[in-house]
Structure 1
Amino acid sequence: MTLARWRALSPAKKAAHDLARAATHANLPLLGTPMSRQVDRLLSARIRQNAFKARPATRAGVMVSGGGYQGKTETVCEIAATFEDSWRELHRTNPETVPGTRDAWVPVAYVQTPVTAKPKSTCKAILDFYGTPTKRMDLPELVAQVAASLTDHGTKVLILDDITRLRMHRADDQDTLDLIRAFMSMHVTLVLVGVDIPGSGLMDEGRPTANNERRRPVNGWEPTQTERRFDLVELDRFRYDTPEQTTAWTCHLAGVEDHLRLLKARPGMLTDGTMPEYLYARTDGVVGLLERLIEDGCTEAITCGTERLTEPLLDNLPLTLADAAGRDAQAGEIPAVPAARPAARTARRRNTVFDDHGPQAGTA
């Protein structure tokens, strides 16, 4: 809609249109990036291969690592949802249905790792997803119920998000990791999502050697049991060092721009001039921070009537994540926000009212 058409609307229709625009900006689509496509190739192939396996063997899992607000959860859930749609289209009904039962068919299960994870709390979090009562169950009963729920509901993919909430220096967390590896023998593809998984100690199972270094045998690194069972893929932020990286960032901004509904927006609003460099400096190439900044900028542009995004408008919008409810800052789930550039300062002219300019020219 053009600005002229919007001005011709009645006040009620203007309010309804602005409400629709606000809803659009609050739900910007998840755009593919070179990094997310790399995750898609590995994770999609692993899920499909494991889903068709009939042998009672341990299914290889996938770890998806990356910084906070980089779209790990959204990317993994989108890939898993695509698999679920295709799996339902292929089978129509649960191919593992038990005669005489009416269990819901749940090809994909998503569970958030408890902040203080223990074997019992992790089992309860999984069973809560299925709505299974867990009162007065001891750990063996909980583990057995998890196995039964995964089988009865035909679950092929189990996503455990925020896995780096596990602190590998704690015995309970090491026991939880052992339990999670046991889930891999339940004919399910285990997908672990977390911040900086290589640096969290999960791959080393929390058992470093002296000087915090792993032993290197003669024939190279000795992989741990976790490393053998999981493929690790990194969902990195955008970079801005090479022409290829700059082009990828600019193309991503162009994709975001196509979904904005500002009345004075022009082609190249986010990609022309110094705007790509500015947006990168404000967000450090993190897609979640970019989404937050663009969303707040669109709201401000509609409220103040500018109806387009500019650097001066975005300069007035602080990028804070203090309201990131449900995220564990100690686990790296909240990224460091780049400092906004200081507002341009105009040079103040010196006050010359009381200056002595000497005798006026031409006076006797």
Structure 2
Amino acid sequence: MKQSDSTPPPGGGASFLPGPPIDRTRWDGWQRYRSSRDSFVPAQILSSAEYARKSPRQRRIHDLHRLATHSSLPVQATPMSEAVAWLVRTRIEDGAFSHKVGTRTGVMVNGGGAQGKTETVCEALAGFEDEWLMLNQQVNPDAMPGTRDLLAPVAYVRCPVKATPISTCQRILDFYGEDYKGMRLEDLVRTVSTAIVEHATKALVIDDITRLKLHREADQDVLDLIREMMSMPVTLILVGVGIPTSGLLRDGRRDPVTKQWLFPPVKDRGRSPNAHAATQHERRFELIDLDPFSYDTPEQIGAWTAHLRGLESYLRLLNDTDGMLTTAGMPEYLFRRTNGVVGLLEKLIQTGCRHAIQSGGERLTVDVFNQCTVSPTDLPDLDAASGEQPTIPPFAPKPRKKGRNSVFDDDGPAAESAG
């Protein structure tokens, strides 16, 4: 029998409870993410009357399901993220389906913190892997007879804080579950190359790439590491904050019209073995920005409002949510609170929904949002030292005017005669 959205299944659990944490930096965790990324079922949409007819226990379960829904708002496509997803998917497919031998063109995805870079890239790669596995009937066509090598069309890793080339290689091998104990850097690079081939990996994502501090003398060989990875039969996707000024590329400027990054001519850097490494990266990577929303032109305002309208459809408040985020001055207010950063918007709406439910008002208003703040602690997986924390607009809500206490007022003789 099909379970109702807010009815616990047999065994005492609840259908909306999350399973074990998903770690996409391990092969089994990535597979869980890929296969379950669209499986969450949001809470039912109920009217106040329908909600009132439920028992106290049923209402509590439904409230928890609503909490889970607001904490799991889907990552909606934006005009900016669609451009990034298209380029990532294009470069991966160009490399995966090419029969030529040579370096694959990679992609560098640049943008501020909480702008959806990671989710956009992961969704694009998960879609590619779904299709690739279907075409290859879920098996590795190049596997050695008599073996069952792990099939990993996509590998996703994150640079550790204060990363080095050695720790970056170790993170890649961790994804495959490879043993690297006692290996030197050259051994690690060789093992990474072998793992990519044996596990039929077509796309390698290195997230938080700008945690590699290239100003440290001991880490200058990171450019050689990335250059070595370019020669591997895999498409590299590098994701980070402030890539153009990180040292991975020469300092460049962004053309305000074309939105493309322009780099100055190469100057002689002396006898450094890395003199032209950054230039090679520019030739072999395409850099694209994932920008936040803007609010200057009618088209930009329309895109922001359309995004808010999409979020309205996922709100599970007992009042009609149509127009709750998109009418009157709400779009401008929300933009002012978030600077158009989708991650900050999601946190603000999540907190606002909790206030709206707990207060019984069941409506998102400016007064409700004025009670909500977003702080760096709401984004714990972003490293502030690496510039990953977004700038949160300062907000100081106006204090609510308190009504005058009239308990001891004397209403006078007129009131007495009226009594």
269-278 or 335-344, which deviates more: 335-344
Structure 1 counterpart of 2:35: none
> Distance in 1 between the 2:334 and 2:101 partners?
50
Is 1:226 equivalent to 2:284 in the alignment?
no
Structure 2 counterpart of 1:307: 362
Task: For 1:182, give the aligned amino acid.
Answer: E
Structure 1 counterpart of 2:342: 287
Structure 1 counterpart of 2:384: 329
* Aligned partner of residue 31 in structure 1, secondary structure: coil
Structure 1 counterpart of 2:73: 28
1:1-364 alignment runs, 5 A limit: 1-92=46-137, 93-204=139-250, 215=265, 224-344=279-399, 346=401
Conserved 8 A contact 1:162-1:194:
yes
Conserved 8 A contact 1:162-1:195:
yes
215 and 51 in structure 1: CA distance in 2 versus 1, 3 angstrom threshold: closer
Query: CA shift at 1:298, angstroms?
Result: 0.8
Query: CA shift at 1:277, angstroms?
Result: 0.5
Query: CA shift at 1:104, angstroms?
Result: 1.4
Conserved 8 A contact 1:168-1:205:
no
> Distance in 2 between the 1:150 and 1:279 partners?
44
Task: For 1:145, give the aligned amino acid.
Answer: T
Query: CA shift at 1:43, angstroms?
Result: 1.2
82 and 2 in structure 1: CA distance in 2 versus 1, 3 angstrom threshold: same
Percentage of identical aligned residues: 53
Task: For 2:395, give the aligned amino acid.
Answer: A
Query: CA shift at 1:332, angstroms?
Result: 1.3
Query: CA shift at 1:55, angstroms?
Result: 2.4
6 and 348 in structure 1: CA distance in 2 versus 1, 3 angstrom threshold: closer
> Distance in 2 between the 1:187 and 1:9 partners?
58
* Aligned partner of residue 110 in structure 2, secondary structure: strand
* Superposed structure 1 runs of 4+ greater than 2 Å apart: 171-174, 213-217, 322-327, 344-349
Task: For 2:141, give the aligned amino acid.
Answer: P
> Distance in 2 between the 1:286 and 1:198 partners?
20
Conserved 8 A contact 2:244-2:251:
no
129-138 or 227-236, which deviates more: 129-138
Query: CA shift at 1:344, angstroms?
Result: 5.0
Query: CA shift at 1:346, angstroms?
Result: 4.7
Conserved 8 A contact 1:205-1:226:
no
| Structure 2: stretches of 5+ with no match in the other structure | 1-45, 253-262, 268-275, 405-419
Conserved 8 A contact 2:95-2:235:
yes
Aligned positions, number:
339
TM-score (normalised: structure 2): 0.77
> Distance in 2 between the 1:323 and 1:286 partners?
14
Task: For 1:140, give the aligned amino acid.
Answer: E
> Distance in 2 between the 1:248 and 1:269 partners?
17
Conserved 8 A contact 1:117-1:172:
no
TM-score (normalised: structure 1): 0.89
Query: CA shift at 1:322, angstroms?
Result: 2.3
Task: For 1:290, give the aligned amino acid.
Answer: L
> Distance in 1 between the 2:178 and 2:266 partners?
45
* Aligned partner of residue 190 in structure 2, secondary structure: helix
Conserved 8 A contact 2:158-2:206:
yes
216 and 147 in structure 1: CA distance in 2 versus 1, 3 angstrom threshold: closer
Structure 2 counterpart of 1:358: none
Conserved 8 A contact 2:113-2:390:
yes
* Aligned partner of residue 322 in structure 1, secondary structure: helix
341 and 247 in structure 1: CA distance in 2 versus 1, 3 angstrom threshold: farther
Task: For 2:318, give the aligned amino acid.
Answer: L
> Distance in 2 between the 1:116 and 1:347 partners?
50
Task: For 2:241, give the aligned amino acid.
Answer: V
* Aligned partner of residue 224 in structure 1, secondary structure: helix
Which whole-Å deviations, capped at 9, do the CAs of 1:260-318 have from their partners, x for residues lacking one? 10001331000000000110000000000000001111111111111111100110111
Query: CA shift at 1:18, angstroms?
Result: 1.1
What value does the CA root-mean-square deviation take over the aligned residues?
Answer: 2.1
333-342 or 68-77, which deviates more: 333-342
> Distance in 2 between the 1:168 and 1:44 partners?
28
Conserved 8 A contact 2:111-2:289:
yes
Query: CA shift at 1:171, angstroms?
Result: 2.7
> Distance in 1 between the 2:384 and 2:363 partners?
34
